[in-house]
Structure 1
Amino acid sequence: MTGSMLFGAFMAALLYVLIPGPAFLALLGIGAGQGRKAGALFLGGHLAGDMVWSSLALVAIVGAKTIGTTVFDVLGLLCGFYLAWLGWSALRASKRSDGASMLTVERPLRRGLIFGLTNPKGYPVALATFTALLASSSNALDFQALPLLLSASLVGFLLADGVLVVIIGASLVRRFYRRHELAIVRMSGLLFMGFAVQAIWHAAPGLLGWRKP
């Protein structure tokens, strides 16, 4: 276990939460309409889904490593292409025609739990993000490292959730987001493209036979 592996898991979890996506947009709607407490409850429920998907992603990554580096490289390449597709889709996004309606949720904790566990993009995005940030340490990954990696991920999730709780509900944030929503989405697309480049950069040498043993 190396410090870079723990930092990679921490950053993957942190950015997995902070990069705008369906849950991020739902949280903004709840925070704007019902305040920070409702947003915090939503995030508390969503944390369960975050941990489930990150656990499955780490198990898949470590399992691919124990099977062989080729499988891990193929996984990284596929994840890189998936992230590139997400990034390209975000860069080409346009404003919605239905406008911005306030979201009112009676039980935000339950909504967050259901949202986190049923998000169809939860697993692939977690897999792609963790693969991108842990690819450089793939040779040191094993199942014994999973508890510490999950602990580092949990710290990243909690820190990211804390940051979001602090900022949601502020009138300045609401106005800024609604005014610059399209730019924010496209900036998140650039971040996904950056992750894609990193994932492909680490996977391609192994598949092409350029990586030193």
Structure 2
Amino acid sequence: MSPTLLAAAFAAAFLYVAIPGPAFLALLGIGAGQGRRAGAFFMGGHLAGDVVWSALALVAIVGARTIGSTVFDVLGLLCGLYLAWIGWSAFRARPRGDGESVMTVRHPLRRGLIFGLTNPKGYPVALATFTALLASEADKLDFASLPVLLAASFLGFLVADVLLIAIIGARAVRRFYRAHELAIVRASGVLFMGFAAQAVWHAAPGLLGWRRP
């Protein structure tokens, strides 16, 4: 296995996690509001989705048969509705007393698992990121290389997760978040609803038969 190929897979996985999106906003709220432990549980659950989407992207890049677009259209609709619910809940958040967080996630591991598997940027961004960084080595890719590439990608996910958790849980970040928590939560809610609208917008044409083949 070429070291360049492994490095590209590692970098693609790292960037996939580090690119700001719905998961980053969720981690900001959970980690800064509830601490590194809760943030780590959330990212631990989200890791399952990272692995699934990167595996599908790598399979598609290698040239195996791809999953039909209908599957991703249905997933896009479902995750859009899920994000809309989270966004609306955040937008309607109210201040709490006794120094409690405005938005508290009771089961961050479960939230991360659901979030990772229904992330609207999942497959498209994974495919785009891995394709961009692996394109120069495409002639060296085959099914035998998939396990090693997934291992390198998994390491990239872990490094990115640890880095984000360290940043989000830093005292300065938590202090800033606490000072402006309600405004940040409501603004995040608006963004989540925007992500939801985008997911539904892309899924609807395929489900309604409007998308050109």
- Which bracket does the TM-score occupy, shorter chain normalised? 0.5 to 0.7
Partner SS state of residue 103, structure 2: coil
Give the match for residue 146 of structure 2.
146
List aligned pairs for 1:156-175, cutoff 5 A.
Answer: 156-174=156-174, 175=176
User: In the TM superposition, what is the alpha-carbon distance from 1:100 to its structure 2 partner?
Assistant: 9.2
User: In the TM superposition, what is the alpha-carbon distance from 1:167 to its structure 2 partner?
Assistant: 1.4
User: In the TM superposition, what is the alpha-carbon distance from 1:161 to its structure 2 partner?
Assistant: 0.8
Give the match for residue 37 of structure 1.
37
- Compared CA separation, residues 119 and 14, structure 1 to 2 (3 A): same
TM-score (norm 1): 0.64
User: In the TM superposition, what is the alpha-carbon distance from 1:169 to its structure 2 partner?
Assistant: 2.3
User: In the TM superposition, what is the alpha-carbon distance from 1:119 to its structure 2 partner?
Assistant: 1.2
Cα distance between partner residues in 2 of 1:9 and 1:118: 22
Cα distance between partner residues in 1 of 2:135 and 2:155: 20
Q: Which amino acid aligns with 1:29?
A: G
Cα distance between partner residues in 1 of 2:148 and 2:35: 34
Overall identity of the aligned pairs, in %: 70
Query: Is the aligned partner of 1:155 residue 2:174?
Result: no
Give the match for residue 136 of structure 2.
136
Aligned length: 148
- Compared CA separation, residues 132 and 99, structure 1 to 2 (3 A): farther
Partner SS state of residue 120, structure 1: coil
Give the match for residue 107 of structure 1.
107
1:172-213 CA-partner distances (Å, limit 9, x unpaired) = 23538x7xx99xxxxxxxxxxxxxxxxxxxxxxxxxxxxxxx
Give the match for residue 196 of structure 1.
none
- Gap regions ≥5 residues in structure 2: 66-90, 95-101, 188-213
User: In the TM superposition, what is the alpha-carbon distance from 1:168 to its structure 2 partner?
Assistant: 1.4
Give the match for residue 19 of structure 2.
19
1:54-111 CA-partner distances (Å, limit 9, x unpaired) = 00000000016xx9xxxxxxxxxxxxxxxxxxxxxxxxxxxxxx59984310000000
- Compared CA separation, residues 100 and 12, structure 1 to 2 (3 A): farther
Cα distance between partner residues in 2 of 1:18 and 1:99: 28
- Gap regions ≥5 residues in structure 1: 68-97, 183-213
What stretches of structure 1 move > 2 A for 4+ residues in a row?
A: 98-103, 173-176
TM-score (norm 2): 0.64
Partner SS state of residue 63, structure 2: helix
1:144-164 CA-partner distances (Å, limit 9, x unpaired) = 110110000000001111111
RMSD value, Cα = 2.4
Contact 2:93 2:103 in 1 (8 A): no
Cα distance between partner residues in 1 of 2:130 and 2:49: 15
